[in-house]
Amino acid sequence: MKQALITALLCAATVSWAQISPDTTYRVEVTTTASPMLNFFRHPKVPGTNSKTSFGYGMSVRAMWHPARLLAVGILTGYYVIARDEISSPGVSPEENYDATLSSIPLQLALSMQKAGWEFGMGIGPYLMMTSIRGGGSATVTGSRLEIGMTFFGSYGFQLGDNVRIGPELRVIAFRYRGIVSVMPSISFRVDPLRY
Amino acid sequence: MSRRHTFLVLVCLTAASCDPRLPSGPDILVDFEFIDAPTTPLSDSGKMAMNGVYEVVQGVSELGNPVVAKWAGNRFRIASQHDVVYSISAGGSSGDSIKLRGYMRRVRSGAGGRVRFTVSSTDGAAEVIAGVAPVSLRIRGESEAGVVFELRRVRGLAPSPFVVLAHRGGGRNSDRLGISENSVEMIRYAETLGATGVEVDVKLTRDAVPILFHDDTFSPRTVQGTYLLGKVENFDLNQIKALGRLIHGEQIPTLKEAMVAVIDETRLSLVWLDIKDPSAVKPVVELQEELMAYASGKGRADLSILLGIPSQDVLRAYEPFQEDADALVELESETALRLPRCRVWAPVWTRQIDPGVVAALRASGRSVFTWTVDLRESITSYMDRVDGILTNYPTLVVALRDAR
């Protein structure tokens, strides 16, 4: 994984260094996506069970600065609901039932390359992981933690107007510390609010 | 490549290399119950006859020389004083010989493997099986990697009052043995590793139940369970039990569960309760009193459960109870001398431990420990100066202590 990552970055750096876009317009592009989320867990979500997958959903916003180069840099954020479970506590007296949710907010630096409508990139940085536990006759419990993760995305944008593009996007998120990999197929909507 | 690109590559390399998992050797799953089954357990006197300091005739490169071997219950421990290398095996008599099977661990590197030992009838097995000390005793063995061992017993073990405390219930062994730190399972195993006591970390849940846990927050380093995330004090005990387990699958124990296990299932003589949160003091003091009564009723009056005082905040919370609850003080020695129920002064190893201060504490009936000492040279040095050590490597301390 590490070697593939290094190779990809070196290629991106080399290509962007070697090729100056013929379009010398600088622009800020904002991309929004909303999608379902399929999540794979390294360990069962709840100990004592076998469930290692979950179905969630999320939306994200990505603001990228495109100088007159192939390589763009920006920030990536959003909100994902990763997993939700109803959990009972067998063997614990008194037995209680809980409604548990795991969600996440990415707070990442994003890098991407864009050419002929295609965009490939990655986000690096922390995720704010959040949990919420309801039920059991006690007050709602919330917890949060910043953890490092990586986001990989690839998309194609069909031109709708001068500054607007729409198209499919596939995103893969590695919550490496937590042992979760998520796949998000989505529709992305791209706008250039600023060109200069 | 520009400096910007180089920087980005370095950032990504760093991010990609972050791996919370420690390097570990091969999984060693030894079914000790299966090993015990085809052999007949040795008598207590037979086990005592095997305890001793052994010259390493073969296998010096693995074990160093000498080693200390001792039975702990039904487990036979061979501990090196050369490095943190040890073997735990089980078995007994089989015909006219003694057969032991187990594993060997090189803790610092995480390496290890299975090992087998045999004592033949000509090497002293007959006498040991009969429960008498043989004139000559040799243990021969071989590891999974093909290393051959031959140990020759040189002398027996003299009892030592030096206290060996296992850090977080069992020390660094928890990273590589598949048993979690601060678990009942690890506490049970501490004695097998040679510890005479354990240090455990205590946190308070939201519903004021003391549990064994070290960190302020739940994280994938220490627990399984997707939904157990964030500060320990945010969760009730039932939620913790329902949502998570320790990293190797054990239940997160309450302090009461852990101490009952110490009283009922071990011969550990000292427990150091490391309390970082002042709000935990009152519930722990109440529980301490209940547990000491339970221990006394079980014939375990030898056990000391000491409330650790690491900070001024915890000290202030403890002072209303200073006439009632036994304590261990990590602060200045004057504080240890002032508190009537302080049983141990335990400064961190970086603090100067003045021999005059140690003498004054001993004269007042208190003991002196230090922590956390893992280096061979430091362990040897402190053995002459204090009464006990908190360590991540109890097998190393025991080997150095008993081979003196």
Domain boundaries, chain A: 23-195
The strand pairing partners of B68, in sequence order, are B53, B79
Q: Kindly indicate the confidence band of residue A26, based on its pLDDT and cuts at 50, 70 and 90.
A: confident
Give the residue-averaged pLDDT of A104-122.
93
Q: Which of B17, B242, B244 faces A92 most closely, judged by CB atoms?
A: B242
CB neighbours of A11 closer than 8 A, spacing ≥ 6? none
Least confident of A79-88, A94-103, B179-188, B359-368: A94-103
pLDDT tens by residue, B266-283: 999 999 999 989 999 999
Q: Which of A6, A9, A143 faces B229 most closely, judged by CB atoms?
A: A143
Angstrom distance (rounded) from CA B83 to CA B63: 8
Q: In Å, what is the CA distance from A168 to each residue of A29, B133, B179, B205?
A: 16, 80, 47, 46
Q: Kindly indicate the confidence band of residue B308, based on its pLDDT and cuts at 50, 70 and 90.
A: very high
Chain A residues lying within 8 Å of B20, measured CB to CB? 177
Chain B residues lying within 8 Å of A67, measured CB to CB? none
Calculate how close chain A gets to B227, using CA atoms only, in Å: 6
Chain A residues lying within 8 Å of B18, measured CB to CB? 148, 176-177
The strand pairing partners of A98, in sequence order, are A87, A135
What topology does CATH give the domain A23-195? Answer: Porin (2.40.160)
Chain A residues lying within 8 Å of B235, measured CB to CB? 133, 141, 143
pLDDT tens by residue, B127-158: 999 999 999 999 999 998 899 999 999 999 98
Q: Which of B8, B238, B243 faces A100 most closely, judged by CB atoms?
A: B243
The strand pairing partners of A40, in sequence order, are A53, A181
pLDDT tens by residue, A122-139: 999 999 999 999 987 777
Q: Kindly indicate the confidence band of residue A14, based on its pLDDT and cuts at 50, 70 and 90.
A: very low
Lookup: tokens for A52? 């290692």
Q: Kindly indicate the confidence band of residue A21, based on its pLDDT and cuts at 50, 70 and 90.
A: very low
Q: Classify the phi-psi angles of B359: left when phi > 0, otherwise alpha if psi is within -120 to 50, otherwise beta.
A: alpha
Q: Kindly indicate the confidence band of residue B101, based on its pLDDT and cuts at 50, 70 and 90.
A: very high
pLDDT higher than 80, residue B23: no
Q: Which of A92, A100, A144 faces B230 most closely, judged by CB atoms?
A: A144
Chain B residues lying within 8 Å of A47, measured CB to CB? 224-225, 244-245, 249
Report yes or no on whether pTM surpasses 0.90.
no
pLDDT for the residue B287: 96
Chain A residues lying within 8 Å of B10, measured CB to CB? none
pLDDT higher than 80, residue A16: no
Task: Tell me if A13 and B16 make a contact (CB, 8 A cut-off).
Answer: no
Secondary structure percentages of chain B, helix, strand, coil, to 5: 35, 30, 35
Q: Nearest 5 degrees, angle CA B91-CA B251-CA B277? A: 120
CB pairs under 8 A between A and B: 127
Contact B122, B109 (CB under 8 A): no
H-helix segments, B170-280 = 173-176, 184-190, 237-243, 255-265
Q: Identify the closest residue of chain B to A85 by CA–CA distance.
A: B227
Q: Nearest 5 degrees, angle CA B42-CA B44-CA B50? A: 70
Mutation for testing the B interface, residue in A16, A105, A122, A133 having most B CBs under 10 Å: A133
Calculate how close chain B gets to A9, using CA atoms only, in Å: 6
Contact B105, B86 (CB under 8 A): yes
Q: B138: closest CA among B21, B40, B59, B39?
A: B59
Chain B residues lying within 8 Å of A138, measured CB to CB? 206-207, 236, 239
Q: Which of B8, B228, B243 faces A9 most closely, judged by CB atoms?
A: B8
pLDDT higher than 50, residue A19: no
Q: Identify the closest residue of chain A to B251 by CA–CA distance.
A: A47
pLDDT for the residue B93: 94
Calculate how close chain A gets to B334, using CA atoms only, in Å: 40
Chain B residues lying within 8 Å of A145, measured CB to CB? 217, 219, 229-230
Least confident of A5-9, A157-161, B307-311, B390-394: A5-9
pLDDT tens by residue, A164-182: 999 999 999 999 888 999 9
Instruction: Give residue B219's Cα distance to chain centre.
Output: 23
**To which H or E segment does residue B373 belong?**
none
Angstrom distance (rounded) from CA B328 to CA B343: 6
- Range 153-182 of A in CB contact (< 8 A) with B: 176-180
CB atoms within 10 A of CB B37: 11
CB neighbours of B285 closer than 8 A, spacing ≥ 6? B307, B318, B321, B324, B325
Task: Tell me if B225 and A143 make a contact (CB, 8 A cut-off).
Answer: no
Angstrom distance (rounded) from CA B276 to CA B278: 7
CB neighbours of A150 closer than 8 A, spacing ≥ 6? A122, A123, A124, A173, A174, A176, B15, B16
Helix orientation angle between B394-402 and B376-383, rounded to the nearest 10 degrees? 50
- Range 53-82 of A in CB contact (< 8 A) with B: none
Cβ-in-10-Å burial (0-12, 13-18, 19+) of B378 comes to middle
Calculate how close chain B gets to A65, using CA atoms only, in Å: 15
Strand pairing report for B327-329 and B342-345: parallel
